[in-house]
A and B are shown apart, each in its own frame.
Chain A
Amino acid sequence: MNRRLTAQPCGTSILAAIGRRPLLQFALLAAALLVIAVLPHLGLMRFSTMSIYAYTAIYTVVALGMNILLGFSGLISLGTAGFIGAGALGMGVFLRMGLPFEAAALVVLAISGSVGALIGLFSLKVESIYLAIATLFVGEILRQVYTSVPIFGGEFIRIGAVRLFGVFELNQILQVERSILYAVIVGILFISMVLMHHLVKSRTGRALMAMSRSEHAAQAMGVSLLKYRLIAFVTATLYATAGGILYALYFQSAPTRAWTLNVSLLVIAMVVVGGFKSIVGTFLGAIIIYGLPNLLLKDLLGDISYVFSGALIILVILFYPRGFVYVGHDLRRVVSTLRARARRAP
């Protein structure tokens, strides 16, 4: 059985064909999400529901970065929320200074990325649990900064309408423009997925995996641990910050108190539940951990719905340590074994 486990899905069904084409998967996913932009205008969905999908997409971008760390590089960070906050609040600060949206985004990414690089350097010195604790403090320090430094405006920074490329002014209070903002976010989610796919299916991705799974061989083959830890942390930080920037873009206001350890843990849970190393799985994880409780269960169960995520994480770790996205894969294997058996039966 094990020898049959190929890296590529095989078979001729439509599903298998889609399984072989990751870019097509991302495109289908983005197309499905884009449909949601239209539904509220047809009276088929509340606008607040669209916002939950927007937030899920934002969380997915952040969790993709976490998957680079956790899934591919065997590293961890508990400071993710701090960098989402850096994206959202940083945009608030620089937009109020009068920077164009795109310039502000680049500045925020550059600053955040540099801090990420520092953590990468630091990660060479400390391993596993100590790295977790160290990054936890980075996150906490950032949170303290956001809530106590006056430049971040106390409770939250109001951003208001943003102007993209200097022409398209979009205000999230207006229903049509909110749908456009949502579409922009889905577009960037799609791009994030494609870029990550490119990265992990390259020399860089292989080096990240070799670094975490066969450290000595990686070194013997010329993989510099320093360089690739830096790459892992900078990429993860940039994805988290990009998530924050998208938050600022969509909600057009950035709270200072929201970036707690809880958020960082949710992001980790998305990777664990959705699927290590799986890009589509990361989206699944975001839907399961953030989307479902807010879309369905909150109406039924109220705040207890979050217990659901907790229970789910424990279940997945116990029974699906590789993540939810592999359920389909395993089901397919079970089905084909059963079929084979049925054929063999007299």
Chain B
Amino acid sequence: MSEVRPMTEVRPILELENVTMTFGGLRAVDGLSLTVFEGEIVGLIGPNGAGKTTVFNCVTQFYKQYEGLIRLTKDDGAVDLRDVPVTQVVRHGITRTFQNLDLVPDLSIEDNVLVGAHTRFQTGVLSHLLRTPRARSEEKEMRDRAGEVLDFLGIAHLKDLYVAGQPYGILKKVEIARSLMAEPRLIILDEPAAGLNDQETKALDALIYQIRERYRTTVLLIEHNMALVMNVCDRVCAINFGRFLAMGAPVTIQRNPQVQEAYLGKDEHL
């Protein structure tokens, strides 16, 4: 089994049991089972169209019609995520980034990041309309936190710029910053390195480690960049045509004949 395990006690945070998701006749995810332990960095790999993003969409409840079970373990017990509306998933400590970036182009970088703090606010519409002292201090507090997160990601100096027109590498970081603002226990990254240049990808290794250390989160990521996966992941799960292929330490997965075969003839490399 897996050689590398989280440093602390071994407790599952996210479990998928026999998850199947079909679109018409296509089984995009096919009987997938997978466990992520607390504090781990787990990679989900597979060729294009293997169903990786679909898995994420099921976990974050954008898709509800999946078969099987997706369970989140929290301090106060386990939750069947299917019972959680998509907009409540974040309150259970799961946030995500999007493969095709989903930001507000005509808001500043800072304001985009603040969208991630949505559930952290206590004040509502009326206090916002009147800008009560409470609303004001809360806004300031959140802005300070956004400043810290942006600083951590090294883009604090860009906070007042609009998102529209920013390079890809910056936008990816804005997405990560937005997710971190929600104080997640599990952060799900859909291809964080896609579109980044070599230098940016190298920096991402360290960044993902730091995210885990500094924000005490578990990380589940989809990635095509094998160097990144090999460097940062504690364990890797490979899928193809929605089906489980293998799971284990990055090296074992890389050497796995089935996994190699899945990538054969594709223009991607292990």
Contact = CB atoms under 8 A, between A and B. Distances in A.
Contact of B87 (A3, A5, A206, A223): A223
A6 interface: yes
A222 B90 contact: yes
Nearest to B139: A202
A205 to B, nearest CB: 8
Interface stretch (B34-42, B114-122, B209-217, B242-250): B114-122
Interface stretch (B1-9, B10-18, B157-165): B157-165
Given A199-B125, A221-B178, A222-B87, A277 B106 contact: yes
Given A210-B115, A222-B119, A224-B87, A6 B160 contact: yes
Contacts of A206: 104, 107, 111, 114-115, 118
A3 B129 CA distance: 32
Interface in B162-190: 162, 164-166, 175, 178, 182
Nearest to A230: B125
Interface stretch (A112-120, A167-175, A211-219): A211-219
Interface string A1-22: 0110111100000000000000
Contact of A195 (B86, B96, B129, B160): B129
A207 interface: yes
B118 A214 contact: no
A8 B90 CA distance: 30
Contacts of B182: 221-222
A209 B128 contact: no
Nearest to B116: A221
B241 interface: no
Interface residues of A, number: 32
Given A5-B162, A6-B108, A222-B91, A217 B128 contact: no
Contacts of B102: 214-217
A198 B162 contact: no
- Chain B contact residues, majority secondary structure: mixed
Contacts of A220: 60, 62, 86, 89-90, 95-96, 98
A110 B195 CA distance: 51
Contact of A214 (B88, B96, B103, B130): B103
A205 B118 CA distance: 11
B123 interface: yes
A204 interface: yes
Nearest to A7: B108
A213 B62 contact: no
A81 interface: no
A209 B178 CA distance: 15
A242 to B, nearest CB: 13
A221 B106 CA distance: 18
A7 B95 contact: no
Identify the interface centre among A218, A220, A277: most chain B CB within 10 Å of its CB: A220
Identify the interface centre among B60, B121, B129, B142: most chain A CB within 10 Å of its CB: B129
Contacts of B60: 220
B219 interface: no
B202 interface: no
Identify the interface centre among A6, A203, A231: most chain B CB within 10 Å of its CB: A203
A204 B115 contact: no
A251 B20 CA distance: 65
Nearest to B60: A220
A214 B162 contact: no
A340 to B, nearest CB: 19
Nearest to B109: A7
B108 A221 contact: no
Given A7-B160, A203-B114, A213-B106, A231 B125 contact: yes
A5 B118 CA distance: 25
Contacts of B111: 7, 206
Interface in B80-104: 86-91, 95-96, 98, 102-104
B131 interface: yes
Nearest to B170: A3
Contacts of B87: 219, 222-225
Identify the interface centre among A3, A6, A206: most chain B CB within 10 Å of its CB: A206
A320 B135 CA distance: 35
B105 A203 contact: no
Interface in B197-224: none
B115 A218 contact: yes
21 contacts: A2-B165, A3-B166, A5-B162, A7-B111, A7-B160, A8-B108, A195-B130, A202-B135, A203-B123, A203-B128, A204-B124, A204-B125, A206-B107, A210-B107, A216-B98, A217-B102, A221-B115, A221-B116, A221-B178, A222-B90, A222-B182
Given A216-B102, A225-B87, 19 more contacts: A3-B165, A5-B162, A5-B164, A7-B162, A8-B160, A195-B130, A203-B139, A204-B128, A206-B118, A209-B107, A214-B103, A214-B104, A219-B87, A220-B90, A220-B95, A220-B98, A223-B115, A223-B118, A277-B106
